[in-house]
Amino acid sequence: MVVQGTTAAVLEHNIQQQWNQVQQQEALGYSAAAAEVSKGKQQAQMYHMQAAGDMFKAAGNIANAIQGMPSTPGGDPTGGGAPDEIAMAQEAGFGKT
């Protein structure tokens, strides 16, 4: 009877240790998931801000096109592109040579 009692106590102790390990792993999993959700939210916010900036840039380009102004610094108002862009395109075999 003493051997059975000792064996039962050892098995119960092992069960408790395993339970604690599982609880720790679960807590770590939840923490990692929360961190990933936070990271995803930050990325989504960044993408929304970038999209808003792109919309404002597009609106500015449309306004400049209506006024006949270049949309990029150094650009050609006729749509020919900046001199550096033309030279690079010609080197690549595009456009007039």
Other beta carbons within 10 Å of 88: 13
Residue 93 to residues 10, 38, 88, 90, 97: CA-CA distances in angstroms?
81, 47, 9, 5, 8
User: Residue 91's pLDDT is what?
Assistant: 66
pLDDT tens digit at each of 97 positions of the chain: 888 889 999 999 999 999 999 999 999 999 999 999 999 999 999 999 999 999 999 998 898 888 887 665 544 445 544 556 556 566 666 554 4
Contact 36, 29 (CB under 8 A): no
pLDDT value, residue 83: 58
In this prediction, residue 93 carries a pLDDT of: 62
What is the pLDDT, as a whole number, of residue 4?
86
CA 38, 20, 8 angle in degrees (round to 5)? Answer: 165
C-alpha closest to that of 81 among 43, 92, 51:
92
